[in-house]
Structure 1
């Protein structure tokens, strides 16, 4: 039942604006790639764009949490990249998603769509070092990572 609702939510989302959101993220990704130095942000834009097309049933998760191993995007360089992104674009994109979330949340039917905008807003703030996986995989990875960190 949960999977059917997620599929239905994704179809409605896609038809009522998700296609434009995903394409907008991909457009900004292309702009980042053109600049060469923006390639890390461009890669993140393509990942987020794919997520923006069909967000129901998926969650963003740190690649370090998912794999158990740090990489360049989850280390200090990822943090630097996220700070630069936050100052130049992240705040504005997140604000747009939060405005859309507000309008979606006005009706009860729109609340699940508002929640998707909130997820996208959070991801828009710090996209470097994140990937998108099914929600159950993200929850299991976060649980396993937390258990590993709690062991002495």
Structure 2
């Protein structure tokens, strides 16, 4: 069932969300200082391509630099990406088949807002 949902997700929403994360990652990797943001963005792009069967776990040992980085990310890129998730989730909720996809899209909003200190693990 996860594979079927992941294939439907990839066609309806995954490609577009992953492209958004890759663009954000490329922009972040242009400057040396923002490379950690770019790496986090590429990691979330892979999660946006195939989300079912994986989940986000917060790392309790992330530290203060992670918190500061998350605030910077939230201001410059996080809210744009979260807005993309909301805009993508709305049409998915219209059909019965799209409801689980819309729920998965909404579940990706916290990691799009605060990516540092988060790990994506298999369930």
TM-score, normalised via structure 1 length: 0.75
Deviation at 1:55, TM superposition (A): 0.4
Deviation at 1:17, TM superposition (A): 3.3
Gaps of 5+ in 1: 65-69, 136-152
Number of residue-to-residue matches in the alignment: 123
Deviation at 1:25, TM superposition (A): 1.1
Deviation at 1:87, TM superposition (A): 1.1
1:32 partnered with 2:28: yes
Q: Counterpart in 1 of 2:100?
A: 112
Q: Counterpart in 2 of 1:63?
A: 59
Higher relative contact order by CA 8 Å / sep ≥ 6: 1 or 2? 2
Runs of 4+ in structure 1 over 3 Å off: none
Deviation at 1:62, TM superposition (A): 1.5
CA distance in 2 between partners of 1:23 and 1:91 (Å): 16
Q: 1:96 aligns with which of 81, 84, 92?
A: 84
Instruction: Quote the RMSD (CA, aligned, Å).
Output: 1.3
Gaps of 5+ in 2: none
Q: Counterpart in 1 of 2:46?
A: 50
**Max radius of gyration: which structure?**
1
Aligned residue for 1:108, secondary structure, equals coil
CA distance in 1 between partners of 2:9 and 2:87 (Å): 16
Q: Counterpart in 1 of 2:17?
A: 21
